[in-house]
Each structure stands twice: as C-alpha cells, then as structure tokens.
Amino acid sequence: MDAKERIWWGRFSVPLHGGLGWRIGPFELGVFREDREYRIHHFRGEDPLSDVLSAAEPREDVPECPEEWSALRFALGEAGGTVLLEPAGPDRTVVSRPETPLGVLPGERVDLYVSTPLWVRVYAGEAALPIVDLPSVRISDTWFGRDTREGMLCYATRTAARLHLDNLPLRPHRAVTKVTVENRASAILQIERLNLPMPSLGLFSDAAGHLWTASVTIRHEERSGESAVSLGTTPGREAGEANPISEPRESPHKGLLQKGLGALLG
Amino acid sequence: MVSDWMESARAWATAEHILPLAQAAGLVLIGILLARTVGRLVERIGRNRFSAQQTMILRRILFYGILCLFLLSALHPFVDLRVLLGAAGILTVALGFAAQTSVSNVISGLFLLGERSFVVGDLIRAEGTLGFVESIDLLSVKLRTFDNLYVRLPNENLLKAKIENLTRFPIRRIDLQVGVAYKEETGHVREVLSRVADRNPLCLDEPPPLILFRGFGDSSLDYQVSVWCKTENWLQLKTAIQEEIKEAFDAEGIEIPFPHRTLYTGAVTDPMPVRIVSGSDEEQFAAETESSPLQEE
C-alpha cells in the first residue's frame, strides 16, 4: 500500500442522493447526502487491532442504516456537497500500561514508541463545525490518581512500550507517540504505566501516510522524585518531514502540566 | 363621622407628610428592583465561575442585604433606628420562643451549608428519599426524586439524619453477588468473571476489578464481583454487567443454581419409597389417594 492509499482524511465531495464510505481499522463510516441533509452511519467492529483500510468509496444511493449500526442526521440550510474528514486525538489523557513493566537505568535516556487509537471527526456546513467526533475504538475507562477521591478519568490501553519503531505495527486508526524517558535519579525508574496527554498533542502524517502525535519527553529528577514533562511540537526525527493534520484539542496549561502530568509515570 | 375622618385625613396629607412617605415608598421600590437586578446579574456571572450552590448563596445574601439597607433607609425619617434595633432584640427573644421549630430549622440550615456535605445538584439519599438536591433553603432542603416528585426535608431532621451523597466522588464501585453451582471449577469461574469486567469499556481498568470468593452458600459457591466506574455510568454499568455475566455463564456452561432442598424420609440410610404409576393404574391410584385419611385431614 502506498502513501496515497493510506490517506483517509481530507476534503471530500459527497454526491447528492449518494454518499461515501470509509473503513478505518475497526471503524466503519458512511457519509450520505440528501436535500439539505447529511446522514452519518457508523459502526465499530469487534477487533480493535484490525488494519483494514478503504477510503471514500462512492455509493450511489442512501441506504437504510443496518441494524447494528448507529445513525445520525444533520440538517443544513443549503447542504454544501463538501465534507472534511480528519483524525483527532482522544478527548481524555490515555494511560498506557506496558504488558511487562520496564525499568530505566539511572542516567539513561530511552525512546519508547506507543500507539494510541484515534477519533474521527467530520466537518460540514459553512461554519465548518465538527458534526461528528467519534472514537475509532471504544477504549476502556480508567482512573489515574492517588486515591479514589482525587485524580482524573482517563482511557486505558495496553502497550508493548517498544524500544524500536520497526517492531511497532502501524495501523490506520492509531497514531504513534515517541516518548523519551530520561532518568536523572540514582535509582532505577520503573515504568508501570504512562499517562499520555493526548488531548494536548497535535497530529501529523509522515511521508508514508502513517499518523504520529507530537513527541513527549519525561525527565525523572533525583531531588523532587517527580517527573517533569515537556510536550514537543513535532513527532520526532523518525517521522521525517511530517505534515501537521490536526490541532490539539486543548492547549496544555501550566497547572495541568504540573499537577496532572507531573505524576505521568505510575 | 365619615366626613370628620375625611377632613382630618385631608389636613394630615399635606406636602410635609406626603413627601417623606413617597420617598420611603420610592426607596423600597428601588431597593426591590436593585436587589432583583443584582441577583440576576450574580446568577449570570456566577454560572460559569461558581458552583450552583455558591451562586445561590451569594444571590440570596446580596438580595436580602440590599433589601434590608433600603428598608432601613426608608424607615429612617419615621422611626428612630436605635429604638427599632432595641425592639428587634426583644422581638427576637419572643419570636424565638414562639417559633422554636422554625429557628431550629434556620440554624440547622446554616450548619448544613457550612458543613457542605452536599451541594445543589448532588444526588443524595436522606430519610429514605433518593433524589437530586434542588435547593438548600433557610427552612428546608428540596429534593427532586427520579420519579419527578418534589420532596421537602426540614433542615432540623437532616442535621440529625444519616445522609448518603452518591455523587460526591467522581468514581463509584458496584458490588454484585454471584452464585455458581458446586460442580463448577473455581478457577474457570474467576477467569470468566475477569473477562466480563475487562471487556466492558465502562468498567474502570484502575482501580482493578475485585473478584472475591465469599464462601459456601446453601445452594451455591458465592462470589462478589466489585467493579469501578465513572459515577454517571453507575446505573448503566450495573445493568449491563449483570446481563453480560449471565450471557458469559451461559456460553461457558456455568450453572447459576436456584436454592436446593434435600428431603429424607426419616431414616438416614433407607431410600425414599417410590411407587411407579402408569396407564390404567392412574385412576385407581387417584381414587386411593382421595379416600386416604391424610387427604381427609
């Protein structure tokens, strides 16, 4: 599959009384256009690791929504025939738990590659507002906090926390985040879980059409025993000359970085 | 008689009397309008900055404060305020005796507000009523139940009662009691229950689901499954996970037993006598049973 075939996002023209269909991993989406109306049909398959991809396949009719699918309708004054489809990061931070805990030796600096499921957004109308913002995979909820009273609600995923990018399967509905961990303390740093601030990371596409998020760097300090986090503006050199595709959902503010992400490593 | 009264009223209603009265009425009117406007303004500004509870308290303090100031200003030309305040003290004592319940409710209300056990919008269970807090007023707390009833609970009772706040913390636990047949393999049951909890996205990954073996029941091996979820998803998960456990048990052939009773005939070793009835013997058997002394009793 070449780079062009991997690109499922962008601006698409939807025919009147017809539509376009996408299969992005386990997520299936149909965008149909009637007079002054858009119909969205969507379905989430069972296999979260599916890497099926087909983009903007034309349909010449507006079918009935299949029983196990969900349907949405949007009325527009003069339904323009163009929609914008784009990937977006999750709307909460994502806690990735390595399948096997990883220890970073004192004084070492390592790069980990973690992939996270993405959301699919559809923009329509003159105001170009997102009419649909749906997860490609329904990720399990989790709690990240000191106790059951204080903390934040996140999504949970399992990760292999791979040290080599070549070993990481790249899927159309997931984005890769390069996490650099620097252990400046004198003791081994055990990484049992990583809380990635996905809503604050922008998305990029590399030359091969794979999706990346901006990189994250964590420095574990000796004195405070806490981790300082800095969010990059690009995915890292592995992604080559990456093009920005979508903005972060929210801009990281200082309080969030200090409180929420200071305890990024569990 | 009437004409005398009319005459004296006309004599009194000179400019020097009418003017202060009009001024006082004007002040009261302005006070009411200003207090209402400020109240609305506070509500609008506070909507995004404060909680519903804080906005409500601030609005009331400002409303009654402004109204009191304007009332006192309006009364000033007619009444000596020092006398009024002195009288108010005596009146308070008298009222305190006369309206013990109301005063007790007011003071309890202040404690409830100060303690912040619940705020407007919380889901609480108090005195057997489960509902959302609509308002915390001077005399009572108003609840809206799930079947849309408006319930008034006096503050005095609430101060003494046990109150459960179901929405205080962002996550909650669901405890389910599950029984399986004695013949089932415990490891398999535990694995199936873990898988059900793991597959439901509403069920939190952390704190991890808890599967406890609670003991040997009358008819079943008793397990407790405890899963955590976002407080808003509590009801949805509680329904879904029980259905999923039933479906998973059916798929895996795990039996959920009903209560078993073992009968014995009095002698521990002897088997229970059984008489097999078939075909034409049935009618004879029925006749025999009908005429038996046991039936007559």
Q: What would the DSSP string read from start to end of B191-225?
A: HHHHHHHHH-TTS-SSSPPEEEEEEE-SSSEEEEE
Query: Over 80: is that where the pLDDT of A7 sits?
Result: yes
Q: B 193-252 residues with CB below 8 A of A?
A: 198, 200-207, 228-230, 233
Query: Over 90: is that where the pLDDT of A201 sits?
Result: yes
Token pair of A240, please? 């080559």
Q: Is the dihedral of CA B225, B229, B235, B239 positive or negative?
A: negative
Q: How far apart are CA A140 and CA A97, in angstroms?
A: 12
Chunk chain B into consecutive blocks of 10 residues (it has 297) and report each block's average pLDDT, rounded to whole numbers: 70 70 87 89 80 78 87 80 76 76 82 85 93 90 95 92 93 95 93 94 92 92 95 94 95 88 67 69 58 40
Pick A143's closest partner by Cβ from B198, B207, B233. B207
Q: How far apart are CA A147 and CA A153, in angstroms?
A: 12
Q: How far apart are CA B71 and CA B258, in angstroms?
A: 72
Question: For residue B160, what are the contacts with CB-CB under 8 A and spacing of at least 6?
Answer: none
Q: Which long-range contacts (CB under 8 A, 24 or more apart) does B15-24 make?
A: B20/B77, B20/B78, B23/B74, B23/B77, B24/B74, B24/B75, B24/B77, B24/B78
How far apart, in Å, are the Cα atoms of B244 and each of A216, A254, B193, B212, B251?
A: 38, 42, 9, 18, 10
Count of beta carbons in the 10 Å neighbourhood of residue B259: 9
**Residue A99 near chain B (CB below 8 Å):** no
| Partners of residue A148 in chain B, C-beta under 8 Å | 169, 171, 207, 228
**Residue A144 near chain B (CB below 8 Å):** yes
Task: Choose among B109, B274, B257: nearest CA to B178.
Answer: B257
Token pair of A228, please? 């300082």
* Chain-chain contact of B206 with A149 (C-beta, under 8 angstroms): no
SS3 state of residue B137: coil
CATH class of the domain whose range is B171-252 = alpha beta
Who wins on pLDDT, A32 or B21? A32
CATH class of the domain whose range is B104-165 = mainly beta
CA B46 from chain center: how many Å?
A: 25
- Best interface-test mutation with B: which of A47, A94, A95, A148 has the largest number of B CBs within 10 A? A148
**Environment class of residue B23 by beta-carbon count within 10 Å: exposed (0-12), middle (13-18) or buried (19+)?**
middle
Q: Percent of chain A scored above 90 by pLDDT?
A: 36
Q: How far apart are CA A140 and CA B202, in angstroms?
A: 6
Alpha-carbon gap: B198 to the closest alpha carbon of chain A (Å): 8
* Chain-chain contact of A156 with B206 (C-beta, under 8 angstroms): yes
pLDDT at residue A266, rounded to an integer: 47
Q: A 184-213 residues with CB below 8 A of B?
A: 193
Who wins on pLDDT, B79 or A217? A217
Phi and psi, residue A153, nearest 5°: -80, 130
| Partners of residue B202 in chain A, C-beta under 8 Å | 141
Alpha-carbon gap: B168 to the closest alpha carbon of chain A (Å): 9
**Residue A95 near chain B (CB below 8 Å):** yes
For the segment A110-122, the average pLDDT, to the nearest whole number, is 92
pLDDT at residue B297, rounded to an integer: 34
Question: For residue B68, what are the contacts with CB-CB under 8 A and spacing of at least 6?
Answer: none
| B15-95 to CATH, choices 1.10.287, 3.40.449, 3.40.50, 2.20.25 | 1.10.287
Q: What is the DSSP string of chain A?
A: --HHHH---EEEEPPBTEEEEEEETTEEEEEEEETTEEEEEEEE-S-TT---EEEEEEESS-PPPPTTSEEEEEE-TT--SEEEEEEE--SS-EEEEESS-EEE-TT-EEEEEEEEE-EEEEEETTTTEEEEEEESS-PEEEEESSSSSSSEEEEEEEE--BS-GGGSPP-TTEEEEEEEEEE-SSS-EEES-EEE-GGG--EEE-TTS-EEE--EEEEE-TTT-SEEEEE-SS--GGG-SPEEEE--SSPPPHHIIIIITTT-B-
- ipTM higher than the 0.85 cut: no
For the segment A228-257, the average pLDDT, to the nearest whole number, is 80
pLDDT at residue B279, rounded to an integer: 60
Query: Over 60: is that where the pLDDT of A60 sits?
Result: yes
Q: How far apart are CA B285 and CA A128, in angstroms?
A: 85
Token pair of A140, please? 């399990």
Q: Is the dihedral of CA A71, A74, A79, A83 positive or negative?
A: negative
Query: Over 60: is that where the pLDDT of A144 sits?
Result: yes
Is residue A132 within 8 A of residue A118, CB to CB? The reply is no
Ordered strands of the B140-145 beta sheet: B150-154, B140-145, B129-136, B123-126, B163-165
Nearest CA in chain B to A149: B169
How far apart, in Å, are the Cα atoms of B86 and each of A63, A242, B70, B81, B96?
A: 82, 80, 19, 8, 16
* Chain-chain contact of B228 with A151 (C-beta, under 8 angstroms): no
| Partners of residue A142 in chain B, C-beta under 8 Å | 204-206
Angle between helices B234-252 and B186-199 (to 10 degrees): 140
Count of beta carbons in the 10 Å neighbourhood of residue A26: 21
Query: Over 70: is that where the pLDDT of A224 sits?
Result: no
What does pLDDT average to over chain A?
A: 85
| Partners of residue A138 in chain B, C-beta under 8 Å | 201
Is residue B119 within 8 A of residue B168, CB to CB? The reply is no
* Chain-chain contact of B204 with A149 (C-beta, under 8 angstroms): no
pLDDT at residue B295, rounded to an integer: 39
Query: Over 80: is that where the pLDDT of A83 sits?
Result: yes
**Residue A141 near chain B (CB below 8 Å):** yes
pLDDT at residue B12, rounded to an integer: 66
User: Considering the entire predicted model, what is its pTM?
Assistant: 0.73
Is residue B20 within 8 A of residue B78, CB to CB? The reply is yes
Token pair of A219, please? 């420095």
pLDDT at residue A63, rounded to an integer: 87
Query: Over 50: is that where the pLDDT of A263 sits?
Result: no
Q: How far apart are CA A99 and CA A194, in angstroms?
A: 12
pLDDT at residue B296, rounded to an integer: 37
Domain layout of chain B by residue ranges: 15-95, 104-165, 171-252
* Chain-chain contact of A142 with B201 (C-beta, under 8 angstroms): no
**B132: β partners:** B123, B144
